[in-house]
Every structure is written in structure tokens, then in C-alpha cells.
Amino acid sequence: MPTYKAPLDDMRFVLHDVLDVAQLSALPGYEEATPDLIDAILEEAGRFCAEVLQPLNQPGDAAGCTYEQGEVKAPPGFKEAYQQYCAGGWPALTADPKYGGQGMPHLMRSVVEEMMCASNLSFAMYPGLAHGAYHAMHTHGTEELKDKLLPKLVSGQWGGTMCLTEPHAGTDLGIITTKAVPAGDGAYRLTGTKIFISAGEHDLTENIIHLVLAKLPDAPGGTRGISMFMVPKFLPTDEGRPGTRNGVTCGSIEHKMGIKGNATCVLNFDNATGWMVGDANKGMRAMFTMMNGARLGVGLQGLGLGEVAYQNAVAYARERLQGRSLTGAKNPGGPADPIIEHPAVRQGLLRVKALNEGNRAFAYWIGMHIDLEHRHPDPARRAESADLVALMTPVIKAFLTDTGFESTNIALQTFGGHGYVREYGMEQFVRDARIAPIYEGTNAVQAMDLVGRKLPEGMGRLLRRFFHPVSAEVEASRADPALAEFVEPLAKAFERLQQATQGVAMRSMANPDEAGAAAEDYLHLLGYVTLGYMWLRMVKAARARLAAGADDRAAFYEAKVATGRFYFAKVLPQVHALAARIAAGATTVMSVPVDAF
């Protein structure tokens, strides 16, 4: 059975040495978020994930969810673990104190979410979706709805979902057919079918709040006519308890490749009572509040699975004896050397390590900017952070899940044939990771959002929020000759990114297919350059610690520098191939006739 231990040293390094998380305690409302309290939260979250959630992961995958006459039960042990999760106050960690929350920075949710996804992704999805519903309701709900519902979501008593997809309408939400008819008392009656609804039905909570996209009878066509509604599984009583069963039922659950411990449901709404959230025909704006948070969360799923897969692959590679090292026996007393001594195995593990640590810094950096966006007293600083978060949301979702899936595959390969069988648990990580590039908007959709919407916005304003700090970091670092092996590869990659940006923009004006053909390569190019920026900052932070005489931690910081060196020499060069693919244009893609496929 696989194991998991939260990488607390790596997390603290990013939070304290690279990002200076102490600055958050200077923001209004975050005064209690001191480094000491943050470290205490990390310790307790790591313990809960390792001791409670991780042992349920493989058994939960084997047992799956059960469905009988519209009722769904989560795998054995999940309900008890969820009760412990709520008793520990974890649902309230970053929620508004007005509704029973602890008011901690959003960044802390990112850190805890990484641990939960690494230890048990299927379990993590249940509270993750509830938090998404909380966030959407907190942003767009009426005061009456918020007062009635948010304390239940914050305590974990009630769960939540988002219901978008229909059998005929996936990404193209403009063609949904679920209808909402005014009931005359301020409520609405919803009728329609939604599919692929994660955590749509289960036995972990006493009620479930569904946020549903539907159309009013007089709604305009397309996405301009979508409204969002809150539809509870049980209608709340005046006292706030679950009352009579609403007209929403689970028709079936999907039998899936992965995340088997999380119920993926078909939900049927039959004259179900709901209340509008936000304005009429403005449901997409309200839903994207939840969706963008979910996309950042899915990126953390890729990171978490890459991390747990790496931990187990390294442990196996240290113990598995096969063959002799090319440069002479490293284990002369044994029949063979550990496979970690072979360059191919070591290079794969180093790639995963470099991606994991770079992705972690990337995700936490954006998590900090979410806090700056909402709490910084300077409106200009809030706007800058909001732009950066908007730019990087599709990149985090797509890049972290693509590289997370790659990392789980590399880790499985380390085990050879043993990775392909269930005993070691590696194949589950691969199966679980495969959904992440698909749901919450496929990664191709994320790439088109980046190229088609985010890059042109404000005449490139969003992209400048990234270009400016990277340029400044490169120029400042060039003053230290010892950093040349890290700075110059990043400078060249950054130049490639700038050239690709200009090329895509120019060609797309004449032919929109150019943007479509370049989008995924461009997103990955931006992702690798972003990790280069984060790795330069990490190398500088580690070198500063070494220079200050961190003798008891020297090996840790030296490993950071060595991993950074690997990233710049062996991973970042991919940007040049991506740039060449982008420059090749759309002709070779779109000139092939459909009949040739």
C-alpha cells in the first residue's frame, strides 16, 4: 500500500523563504495569520491527511460508491473521516467569521488542499465542492440566503455542488435546456437533467446545496440567457434544519476510470424548488466565481497526485535492486544496485521533483495574490493582483494537471510491471490524475481562454502583470555572476515567450484558427517560463540561506539549488520546441481534409 507524508519542509520553504508569507498578517483581517500559526496549521493538516485520509484512499478506490434507489453511500470510512474533518474545523479555515469561519488567508486553503488531494482525492472533492458553493453564495447570494445557508456550509453540516453539464451540453452551456419557472413567491421551479455532477448525492452531510444553471421562460438565447439557482436536496425549515425532500433525485452514478470514491451523479430536477443567486440572466458570472475557484483547486489536484506518486517512486527506487551502475557497483555487498543509480530512473524522478516543487511555488504564489486581491488596502495593488490571478487561472488548471498526469506516469514507470498492478497503488494515481485535464473545462478550453480572452484583455494588460516582474527578476539577478547558469536560460526562454506572444497575436488577427492551433503549446510555454521564474526565486532564496550559515539545513538548501539546476538544464529547454511548434502556424493542422481522418 502506498504512503504519504506532507512535504512540510518544502511547503515552509516556499511560504517563508520565497514568498514571505509573514506579509499577509499585515493585511486587514489577517492579523492573526502569523508564521507560527501558519506552521501549526501545516503540522496538523499534514497529520490528519497522513493518518486519517491516506489510509482510506486505496480501500475507497476498491469499494467505490454504492447506489440504491436514488441513495448514494460513500466508501466505508469516509463518513467517519468527514466527521473528524468537520470536528477539526477544517471547513471553516478560510471562511468568513460572520458565518462561523476562521478567516484565515486563502493561501492556507491552497496548502491544505494540496495535502488532501495527495492523500485522498476522492474524499477531498466532497468538501472542496462545498467550499465552492460557499464562495459563490458568499459573493452573489442575498443576505437572507447567506444568513440561512452559509453557516451550514461553513460548519460542514451541508455539502454543495455545481450543476452545469447536460447530456447534450458540455462546454457549450448556451444550449442547456433546464428550465426555471417563477413560482410567484420569490422561488422558482426547476426541471431538467444534469450529468457528471461530482458529489451530487452522498451520505456525508445532512443536506446538499446544488447551484444549478437554468433558463427563465423569457431568457435570451445563448449564455446571455443563463441564470443560477440554489436548489437544496431538502428544503430548509424556518429553524434551518433539513425539511421535506425537494424535487431533485439522483438517477444513477457513473462507473469511472478513477476518483471512484467520489460519486459522479446524474441529477434529475422535477419541478424542484430553487432560489435565484445573483441577477437574472447573469448566471454565468455567478457560476464563474465558483468555476474559477474550482479550476485553481483542480490544479492543486495535479500537484498533489504528482507529489504522492513521487514520494512512493523515490522510496521504491532506493530499495529496488536491479543491474549494476554504469560507473561501477554502488552496492557491492548486494546482488545489484538500487535502480535510483541508473541515469534513466534518476532523470525521470528529477523531472517529477522539479515539476512538483516548481508547481507548488507557482500555485502558492497565485494563492497569495488572491489574498492581496481581496485584502490589500491599496486599490492599485488589488487590481494588479486580480489581473495576475485572472491570467494565471487557466494556466494553473491546465499546466499543473498536464504535468501532474505526466508525473504520475513517470512514477508508475519507475515501478516497472509492479506499477501496473494494484498492490503498489501507483496505477490509482494515474487513473485519478487523468480526470483533472478534463473536468472544470478541458485543458484545451483553458488554453483558448488564455489565448482568446486573457491575452487580448486590456491590450495585453494582464500579461504585463507577469512580464514586468519576470523582466525585473532577470535583470536584478544578472548582477550576480554566480547565478548565470540559472538566469540566462530563463532570459532566453522569456524572450521566446515574448516572440510567441507577438506572433500569435498578429497571425490570429488574420486567421482565428491560428489562435486555436497555437493555444495549448502557448499555455505550456507560459507554464514552463513561469516555473523558471519561480525556480530562479527558489534558487536565490536557498543560496541566501546557505550564505547565512544554515549549517543544520545545508543539505536541504543545496538540494534546492541542484534541483533548480536540473530544471534550467533539462526541463526549461522544452520552451524552444514549443516556440517552434507555435511558429509553424495552423496550416498543417487545418489543411488536412476531414475525409483524410
Residue 210 is part of which domain span? 143-150+158-288
| Least confident among 43-57, 402-416, 537-551 | 537-551
Q: What is the pLDDT averaged over residues 548-572?
A: 95
| End residue of a domain, out of 75, 100, 135 | 135
Does residue 275 sit in the same domain as residue 348? Answer: no
Does residue 276 sit in the same domain as residue 333? Answer: no
Does residue 220 sit in the same domain as residue 247? Answer: yes
Does residue 162 sit in the same domain as residue 131? Answer: no
Does residue 203 sit in the same domain as residue 315? Answer: no
pLDDT tens for residues 239-261? 889 999 999 999 999 999 999 99
How much is the mean pLDDT over the chain? 96
Judge whether 30 lies within some domain: yes
Query: Could you tell me whether strands 248-253 and 264-277 are parallel, antiparallel, or unpaired per DSSP bridges?
Result: antiparallel
> Within a 10 A sphere around the Cβ of 269, how many other Cβ atoms?
26
Q: Write down the pTM of the prediction.
A: 0.97
Judge whether 483 lies within some domain: yes
Does residue 427 sit in the same domain as residue 522? Answer: yes
Residues 6+ apart with CB under 8 A from 443: 397, 398, 401, 402, 437, 520, 523
Look up the CATH number of the domain holding residue 283.
2.40.110.20
Do 539 and 483 contact (CB within 8 A), yes or no?
A: yes
Does residue 269 sit in the same domain as residue 311? Answer: no
In angstroms, rounded to a whole number, what is the distance separating the alpha carbons of residues 289 and 131?
12
Q: Is 103 exposed, middle or buried (0-12, 13-18, 19+ CB in 10 A)?
A: middle
Q: Active-site residues: which are they? A: 440
pLDDT tens for residues 313-353? 999 999 999 999 999 999 999 999 999 999 999 999 999 99
Local confidence band at 190 (pLDDT 50, 70, 90 cut-offs): very high
Residue 551 in this model has a pLDDT that exceeds 80: no
Q: Which helix (H) or strand (E) holds 527?
A: helix 512-547
Does residue 438 sit in the same domain as residue 325? Answer: yes
Judge whether 273 lies within some domain: yes
Does residue 470 sit in the same domain as residue 371? Answer: yes
Judge whether 596 lies within some domain: no
| End residue of a domain, out of 135, 169, 185 | 135
Does residue 208 sit in the same domain as residue 342? Answer: no
Cell of 427: 496505477
Look up the CATH number of the domain holding residue 547.
1.20.140.10
Does residue 281 sit in the same domain as residue 380? Answer: no
Residue 565 in this model has a pLDDT that exceeds 80: yes
Judge whether 592 lies within some domain: no
Does residue 241 sit in the same domain as residue 330? Answer: no
Judge whether 471 lies within some domain: yes
Longest dimension (CA), the chain: 83
pLDDT tens for residues 402-442? 999 999 999 999 999 999 999 999 999 999 999 999 999 99
Do 213 and 174 contact (CB within 8 A), yes or no?
A: no
